[in-house]
Amino acid sequence: MELGGKVAIVTGAGAGIGRAYALALAAAGAKVVAIARTLGLGRNGEAANGGLAEVVRAGSGLPGRIYAQVCDVGDEAALVRTIDEAGANFGRIDILANNAAIMDAHDTFDITGEAWDAMMRVNVRAPYLAIRQAAPFMMRQRSGSIINITARGGDFLARDDPAHHRLLPYGVSKAALNRLSHFMAEELRPHGIAVNALSPGVVLTRPSAAGFAGAKPATPEILGPALIFLARQSAETLTGKILHTDEFGKSWGAADED
């Protein structure tokens, strides 16, 4: 499907990967509901570096439009209300990018129950709730694309892999997100809705990422094409896949495909 005039929701859109996705979708002509915990205004009331206000400002000259929506996806009532209001305000939801996530490092045998629950609440439960609320709009349309942003840490990794070190609950949460993606792909296939998971790879969203080999900047030009390709899919064209941005245009999503 072409994205001009389509309605997209991106969680965790205030900075980094989510910011890149929101701008890429707006560049493709979509109306983007960008969700983050804070608006990101400076003391003078202007958009600060980072935050939803800056994302809206950055997207002001694009074909589509970005709408800032403050919401903590870990708050079930707030997330349900935000998705429902987006669907009601626009009359449809075409794309859902579940990007918001917590990535905290912990020693393997020193993880508190509170830290574990927080990771699962944001990384697994929130995507499920967002899908649950967005799916009825897509089902009525008999079209839509859901993209869950996963990570390589959700796969089996050797102990010396940097994505393994101190990231047990994060890896478990991403493995669960992959399973959720597979399950929902089959659940929503009869309604024409695509559900895929996309791993952006190692991205420079903060200085600490600079030590990872192959880290790439979180820009719409670098991260956007793979997401845009998936946003255009349906259950008939591509669904139920766990895909990696580094392989886009190689093993999947050839550059000449629409």
Q: What is the pLDDT of residue 113?
A: 96
We report the CATH number of the domain holding residue 172 as: 3.40.50.720
How far is residue 230's CA from residue 224's CA, in Å, rounded to a whole number? 10
- Domain hosting 34: range is 7-247
**174 labelled catalytic:** yes
Q: Is the pLDDT of residue 12 over 50?
A: yes
What span, in angstroms and rounded, lies between the C-alpha atoms of 39 and 47?
8
pLDDT classification of 258: cutoffs 50, 70, 90:
very low
Answer yes or no: is 256 within a domain. Answer: no
Catalytic residue among 174, 216, 241, 250: 174
Report if residue 2 sits inside a domain: no
> Catalytic pick from 128, 170, 241, 250?
170
pLDDT at 256 exceeding the cut of 50: no
Number of structural domains found in the chain: 1
**What distance in Å separates the CA atoms of residue 94 and residue 230, rounded to the nearest whole number?**
12
Q: Residue 173 pLDDT > 90, yes or no?
A: yes
Residue 254 falls within a domain, yes or no?
no
Tell me how far apart the alpha carbons of residues 199 and 201 are, in angstroms, rounded to a whole number.
6
pTM of the predicted model as reported, rounded to 2 decimal places:
0.92
pLDDT bin (cut points 50, 70, 90) of residue 204 is: confident
Query: Is 258 part of a structural domain of the chain?
Result: no
Residue 257 lies in a domain: no
SS3 66: strand
In a domain, 253, yes or no: no
- Residue 255, domain member (yes or no): no
Which segments of the chain does DSSP mark as H helices, in order?
16-27, 52-58, 76-90, 113-120, 126-141, 168-188, 220-231
Q: What is the mean pLDDT of residues 228-240?
A: 98
Distances, alpha carbon 106 to alpha carbons 111, 119, 140, 149, 228, in Å = 6, 12, 43, 21, 34
Residue 98 lies in a domain: yes
Beta-bridge partners for 66: 32
